[in-house]
Amino acid sequence: MHFNNVSYLVPLVPLAAAFNCTPSAFQSILPSNASVAYAYTLAAGSTFNVGYDIAYPTSPQKLPALCAVQINVTSSPSSAFSFGLFLPVNWNNRFLAVGNGGFAGGINWLDMAAGVQYGFAVVSTDTGHNSTSGDLSWALNQPQKQIDWGYRAIHGSVVLSKQVVQAYYSATPKFNYYSGCSTGGRQGIRDIQLYPEDFDGVLAGAPAWWTSHLQTWTVKLGLYNLPTTAAHHIPTALFSAIGAEVLRQCDPQDGLVDTIISDPRRCDFYPEALLCTANVTNQTAAGCLTAAQIGTLYQIYNDYVETNQTLVFPHLELGSEAQWPVLLGGSAPSTLGYQYVQDLVLNDTNWSFYDFNYSIVQLADQIQPGNATAYDFDLTAFHTRGGKLLQYHGLADALIAPGSSVYFYKEVLKTLLPKGITLDSWYRFFLVPGMQHCSGTPANINAPWYFAGANQAGSIGTNPGSVYSVPGFTDAKHDALLALMAWVENGMAPDSIIATKWINDTITNTVLRQRPLCPYPQQAVYLGLGDPNEASNWQCGRFGM
Ligand SMILES: *[C@@H]1O[C@H](CO)[C@@H](O)[C@H](O)[C@H]1NC(C)=O
Ligand SMILES: *[C@@H]1O[C@H](CO)[C@@H](O)[C@H](O)[C@H]1NC(C)=O
Ligand SMILES: *[C@@H]1O[C@H](CO)[C@@H](O)[C@H](O)[C@H]1NC(C)=O
Ligand SMILES: *[C@@H]1O[C@H](CO)[C@@H](O)[C@H](O)[C@H]1NC(C)=O
Ligand SMILES: *[C@@H]1O[C@H](CO)[C@@H](O)[C@H](O)[C@H]1NC(C)=O
Ligand SMILES: *[C@@H]1O[C@H](CO)[C@@H](O)[C@H](O)[C@H]1NC(C)=O
Ligand SMILES: *[C@@H]1O[C@H](CO)[C@@H](O)[C@H](O)[C@H]1NC(C)=O
Ligand SMILES: *[C@@H]1O[C@H](CO)[C@@H](O)[C@H](O)[C@H]1NC(C)=O
Ligand SMILES: *[C@@H]1O[C@H](CO)[C@@H](O)[C@H](O)[C@H]1NC(C)=O
Ligand SMILES: *[C@@H]1O[C@H](CO)[C@@H](O)[C@H](O)[C@H]1NC(C)=O
Ligand SMILES: *[C@@H]1O[C@H](CO)[C@@H](O)[C@H](O)[C@H]1NC(C)=O
Ligand SMILES: [Ca+2]
């Protein structure tokens, strides 16, 4: 079936379920703090009707035959979380947990759908609240709900759903995996810090790991471009002109003019090329900036540092401009930033983001709301139990600066190398040139970005929920989750992952480009001959090493 061309995976052996897919059957195996909301079977080809889920409203289609279950768990006198499970009839003997995004309070049905299409028994939690990604009001004076969001709901649902899987199939999952991006990336990393036994392999994309700094930097970043009446404010209408100038200067600096900036950090960008000349009456038409606006550019492209160059949060990269409207385009910083300060740090919804200063970051560091920040760089326990961590981050991500992933990798390296633990055999990190936050690439960039990371299958193709893996390239060379499995199960470490770009991101169209992603600090180097849109004409390398 799904794994026919993936020889290292065992063939699917359909197991008879130990009991029927009914609420009472599941209830009978659960502890008293857990209650079954529903359990029913879906025939192959069905749509799972999500009903009302404000965070993940899309009902996945064309599912394999499965048992759908939702279970609620009381986690404290003032908190509860819920989780959904898809238990396929044709089970691949493996367990997968998928993560969330932002502050979304809901079950990630689309990522579950991609997981169950492979044959995984798959779980997702609502993280203990009910909200859209950008609405943090649920957290005000709710420390227990914050803890559910921070780490308890993911761990609790993993522990309980492993028990459910074991009972339902009368078999222990052979391997346990995790895949998540953004908050999902944080959830995976936080979980292996606190509970190293939970997973054999973790795929963590664009991790929002540095919560106390990331959310506060989000305020700082928004403020760079505010108020909208100020001379230094850059209207969103000018972002594309900035992006075009960055591309003009930085694309060739990696040696190949191909609309892709392979390594933005090696570009010596000269923002003054954007300065308006005399007598410009319409800046949008001229696509130019004033000196004050260029000052804002310098802030955006530079790290947020405090006294003595103390790093608070890394900068956005050159080439991220197309996604700037999300955090830099409004008349206020993103709610992901200022509501975090209001609802989780200060407990004061009257606080004005214009009063932001560094003491807020220090307070957030001290309180650590929900203990969400994944700041334990000592991953020894996860390494020792044989875990594998595969991390990635898009270089055109303007929601979470990719430098925060680089920083995390280096902190783990600095922590473990002196203890005699090298990373290469169990932890690799891939930067993705031209990819935005977790998925996608601007239409004029067309960078290969698809490798079946979290959120990706659900954002491509028609019939949401029906897509999984990399259609046409269902193997460990192209699919990051299969690459992780090959690493965990067969010791085949990913020396590269080939990312794919279809024309117009439509999987029924032809492939426009494929290119390898490389383990940090390597990058893909064009061999100088042949079609640069073919992955085989590239190799991973490192200038000067
Ligand atoms: C389970 O939780 C969901 C979401 O909070 C709620 O809608 C549902 O009524 C709950 N079901 C039970 C049986 O408690
Ligand atoms: C639910 O109850 C079980 C068994 O008593 C306990 O081990 C578990 O920690 C509880 N879960 C939560 C989230 O409180
Ligand atoms: C979530 O809240 C909305 C109101 O904002 C409500 O209509 C819906 O039923 C809630 N969903 C769950 C699962 O509790
Ligand atoms: C700008 O406009 C002024 C007034 O119309 C004119 O004197 C001047 O020559 C113009 N400068 C340029 C560079 O076109
Ligand atoms: C400025 O130029 C833009 C883009 O050409 C155009 O859409 C806009 O209407 C112009 N504004 C004014 C005030 O003429
Ligand atoms: C900055 O560095 C100087 C020189 O090392 C030191 O005296 C001072 O205390 C530092 N200030 C802060 C705020 O860390
Ligand atoms: C806000 O409330 C939390 C408990 O929910 C507490 O830990 C924190 O210290 C409070 N913040 C301030 C600034 O008092
Ligand atoms: C916010 O301000 C309003 C009006 O001044 C006041 O009634 C309210 O108590 C304040 N809320 C907090 C959390 O300080
Ligand atoms: C920083 O902000 C806090 C909270 O608004 C305020 O109490 C404090 O005085 C500010 N500190 C400085 C140095 O401005
Ligand atoms: C937060 O997590 C750390 C481990 O990362 C732990 O040492 C600490 O006790 C936790 N703090 C709270 C308040 O739970
Ligand atoms: C891609 O999208 C563009 C713009 O919508 C359209 O003009 C073009 O025909 C599409 N190409 C294909 C192959 O679908
Ligand atoms: Ca280039």
Contacts 24+ apart (CB under 8 A), 512-517: 512/446, 513/446, 513/447, 513/448, 514/448, 514/478, 515/260, 515/447, 515/448, 516/540, 517/392, 517/430, 517/431, 517/432, 517/451
Is residue 73 scored above 50 in pLDDT? yes
Is residue 52 scored above 50 in pLDDT? yes
Identified catalytic residue from 148, 191, 263, 397: 397
Give the residue, by CA position, lying nearest to ligand 1 atom 13.
37
Last residue of a domain, one of 350, 367, 384: 367
Is residue 503 scored above 60 in pLDDT? yes
- DSSP string computed for 95-162: EEEE---TT-BS--HHHHHHHHHHT-EEEEE-TT--B-TT--GGGTT-HHHHHIIIIIHHHHHHHHHH
- Residues 385, 519, single domain; the answer is yes
pLDDT tier for residue 544 given thresholds of 50, 70 and 90: low
- Residues 384, 525, single domain; the answer is yes
Indicate the residue type of 139.
Answer: A
**Is 444 inside a domain boundary?**
yes
- Residues 198, 252, single domain; the answer is no
* Dist. CA 363 → ligand 7 center (Å): 9
**How do 427-432 and 523-526 pair as beta strands?**
unpaired
Last residue of a domain, one of 367, 394, 425: 367
**Is 10 inside a domain boundary?**
no
Q: Any residues with CB less than 8 A from the CB of 308 and at least 6 apart, and which?
A: none
Is residue 9 scored above 70 in pLDDT? no
**Is 4 inside a domain boundary?**
no
- Residues 444, 430, single domain; the answer is yes
- Residues 520, 397, single domain; the answer is yes
Is residue 10 scored above 70 in pLDDT? no
Is residue 339 scored above 60 in pLDDT? yes
Identified catalytic residue from 182, 212, 262, 334: 182
H or E segment to which residue 288 belongs? none
Distance of CA 505 to the CA centre of its chain: 19
Report the number of distinct structural domains present in the chain: 3
Last residue of a domain, one of 311, 333, 367: 367
- Domain range spanning residue 143? 17-173
Which ligand 6 atom is the nearest neighbour of the CA of 310?
14
Is residue 5 scored above 50 in pLDDT? no
Active-site residue flag, 437: yes
Per-residue pLDDT reduced to its tens digit, 266-317 = 999 999 999 999 999 999 999 999 999 999 999 999 999 999 999 999 999 9
**Is 324 inside a domain boundary?**
yes
- Residues 413, 432, single domain; the answer is yes
pLDDT at 12: 55
Q: Are 213 and 407 in contact (CB under 8 A)?
A: no
**Is 187 inside a domain boundary?**
yes
- Residues 28, 137, single domain; the answer is yes
**Is 2 inside a domain boundary?**
no
Question: Is the C-beta atom of 394 inside 6 A of ligand 2?
Answer: no
pLDDT at 13: 61
**Is 486 inside a domain boundary?**
yes
- Residues 264, 413, single domain; the answer is no
- Residues 126, 25, single domain; the answer is yes
pLDDT at 11: 47
Is residue 4 scored above 50 in pLDDT? no
| For range 203-232, the mean pLDDT | 98
Question: Per residue, what are the HEC states of 497-510?
Answer: EEEEEEHHHCCCCC
